[in-house]
Structure 1
Amino acid sequence: MSMRTLAIGDIHGCLTALKTLVEVAGVTPEDTLITLGDYVDRGDSSRGVIDYLIELRKTHQLITLRGNHESMMEEARSTADQFHFWAANGGYQTLESFGVEDVHEIPKLYWKFLKSLESWYETENHIFVHAGLSADLPLKEQPPLSLYWMKFSQNQPHESGKTIVCGHTAQKDGLPSVQPGAVCIDTHVYAEDGWLTCLDVMSGEYWQANELGESRRGELDPVG
C-alpha cells in the first residue's frame, strides 16, 4: 500500500469507534494521519482516547490538531465561569473518564498533550484545521475564532487555493459534506446513530466506525 494522507474527524471520547476505524482503514506507519481535534467531552472515554493517541504517536506519523473542546478544557482551569461553560458542553463526561471532580486533578501528562496540539497542518494540496479558515488571511494570521469555532457553512475557498479539510460542524446525517474548497468530516460520532470518519484526501475513499464497533466505507470525489 502506498503512503496516504488520512484525516479523522471529531472523536469526542469515543474510543471504540476510534480503534475500530484505525483498524478498518488499515492505517500504517507509512501513512500520515491527521486528527482534527475534539478528542474529549460528550463520549465516555476521553482519557482513553488521549492515551491511545499518545501511544499511536510513538509508532505512526500522527499529526494532532487542537479543537474548541481542548481549548475549553484548558480554559476551564482559569475561572468558575469557564469551568461551568466547559462542563455544560461535555466536560462532566471528561471528568468522569478521569475519575475526578476537579479539573485541576487531571494528571500533568494530559495537559502536556493538550499543549502539544497544532492549530493547523498544511500539505501541497490541503489545509487541515478543526473548524475553518478566514478566506482572505494567510495561515499564520488566522484568528482562534476561525480555527476552532467557525461553522462549516461559513467556509469560503481559501486564498491559498488549497482544499480545507475540517470537522467541528456535526453532519447529523452521518456523512461527510463537501462544498467548494472544503470538506467536513465531523459525522456526529457521539450521537446514537453517529459515525467517526477517516478520509483518504487524495482518493476520496473514506471509512466510518461507531461505538458499537460497526464499520462501513464510502467514496467522495477526490477533494483537492
Structure 2
Amino acid sequence: MIKRKLVVGDIHGGLKALKQVMERAGVTTSDKMIFLGDYVDGWSQSPGVVEYLMELNETHDCVFIKGNHDDLCYEWLKDGSSNKEWLFHGGSATVAAYEKQPEEIRTKHLEFFERLRNYYLDEENNLYVHAGFTSIHGVTREYFPEMFYWDRSLWETALSLDPELDKEDLRYPKRLLHYKEIFIGHTPTIRLNETTPIHAANIWNIDTGAAYKSPLTLMNVATKEFWQSDPVNELYPDENGRN
C-alpha cells in the first residue's frame, strides 16, 4: 500500500470531528500523520483528543506540533497558571473537562504536551509549524521560539505578496525561500470567508475553523486532496465552541 503523508489542522477539542475526518480519509497504519497543533480549547473533548492521539501514536507514524493553545493548557496542567484571555477563548471548556479526569490522566497528558515539537521538516524540505517564524534565516535560527506557535506575520506576508514578484527579486520575502512548502494552522481561513484550505505563495493554511462553526480538515501533502468533517458545531449541538 502506498504510504501517504497526511497533515491535520487545528482540532480544538473536537474529538468527534477528528474521528470523522480520519474515517473519511481512510487513514491506515501505512500513512504518516502530521498534526499542526491546537489539540485543545473549544469543544468539550480536549482530554479525549489527547488520549486518542496518544493511542494513535502507538500504531501510526505520527508527528505532533505544538500550538499556542497547547502551550497555555500545558502551563495550566503544570502549575494552575491561566489568564482570562485563555479561559475566554476556549480554555474554560478545557478546564471543565480536565477537572473530571483522574490525576493520572492529567499527569500523562502533561507529558504529551512536554514532548510536542515546535516544527517538523520532512525529507522533501517541507516545513510544518503551527503558526510561523520570524527569522529571515529560517526556523533553525529563530530567536523567539514562542513565535512558532504565535506568529501571524508569515501568513500575512504570504497573503499580501504580489504573485508576479519573482523569487530572484531582492524584495521577495526571505522567509519564504527556505522551504519547498510550508503547512500551518493557527489563523482560521474563515477570517477570509473560506472553509477550505488556502494556498498563498508556498504556504498552505489548513486551519479551516474547526474551533468555530466550520469543519476540521485533513490534507494529503503530495496531492493536496483533502477531506473534511461536518461543521464541528453540528457534532456538538449543545455547545458553543470557541468565542
Give the structure-2-normalised TM-score. 0.79
The two structures, once aligned, show a CA RMSD in angstroms of: 2.2
Hey, what does 2:92 align to over in structure 1?
92
Hey, what does 1:64 align to over in structure 2?
64
Paired residue secondary structure (1:165): strand
Superposed displacement of residue 84, structure 1: 3.1
2: CA distance, partners of 1:50 / 1:201: 23
Superposed displacement of residue 154, structure 1: 3.5
1: CA distance, partners of 2:85 / 2:228: 30
Q: Does 1:73 align with 2:73?
A: yes
Paired residue secondary structure (1:136): coil
Contact 2:127–2:179 (Cα < 8 Å) also in 1? no
Hey, what does 2:156 align to over in structure 1?
153
Hey, what does 1:206 align to over in structure 2?
226
Task: Map Cα deviations across residues 146-179 of structure 1 (whole Å, 9 max, x no partner).
Answer: 3111222145553323211000001112111110
Superposed displacement of residue 201, structure 1: 1.1
Paired residue secondary structure (2:176): coil
Letter in 1 for 2:178: S
Worse-superposed segment, 3-12 or 65-74: 65-74
Hey, what does 1:113 align to over in structure 2?
112
Task: Map Cα deviations across residues 96-151 of structure 1 (whole Å, 9 max, x no partner).
Answer: 222359xx997201100100111111111410000112361232222234311122
In the superposition, relative to structure 1, how do residues 147 and 4 fare at CA in structure 2: closer, same or farther (>3 Å)? same
1: CA distance, partners of 2:21 / 2:62: 15
Hey, what does 1:219 align to over in structure 2?
none
Contact 2:130–2:184 (Cα < 8 Å) also in 1? yes
Structure 2's unaligned 5+ residue stretches are 159-172, 236-243
Letter in 2 for 1:198: L
Task: Map Cα deviations across residues 22-59 of structure 1 (whole Å, 9 max, x no partner).
Answer: 11111111111100000000111101100110110000
2: CA distance, partners of 1:182 / 1:149: 16
2: CA distance, partners of 1:51 / 1:79: 20
Contact 1:14–1:189 (Cα < 8 Å) also in 2? yes
Hey, what does 1:163 align to over in structure 2?
181
As a proportion of its length, which structure holds more helix?
2
Paired residue secondary structure (2:188): coil
In the superposition, relative to structure 1, how do residues 185 and 62 fare at CA in structure 2: closer, same or farther (>3 Å)? same
Matched residue count: 209
Contact 1:132–1:147 (Cα < 8 Å) also in 2? yes
Paired residue secondary structure (1:107): helix
Paired residue secondary structure (1:158): helix
Worse-superposed segment, 144-153 or 36-45: 144-153
1: CA distance, partners of 2:45 / 2:114: 20
Hey, what does 1:220 align to over in structure 2?
none
Worse-superposed segment, 154-163 or 182-191: 154-163
Contact 1:131–1:167 (Cα < 8 Å) also in 2? yes
Paired residue secondary structure (2:149): helix
Give the structure-1-normalised TM-score. 0.85
Hey, what does 2:204 align to over in structure 1?
183
In the superposition, relative to structure 1, how do residues 93 and 74 fare at CA in structure 2: closer, same or farther (>3 Å)? same
Rg (Cα) greater in structure: 2
2: CA distance, partners of 1:174 / 1:197: 9
2: CA distance, partners of 1:21 / 1:95: 25
Hey, what does 1:197 align to over in structure 2?
217
Hey, what does 1:27 align to over in structure 2?
27
Superposed displacement of residue 3, structure 1: 0.7
Structure 1's unaligned 5+ residue stretches are 214-224
Superposed displacement of residue 185, structure 1: 0.4
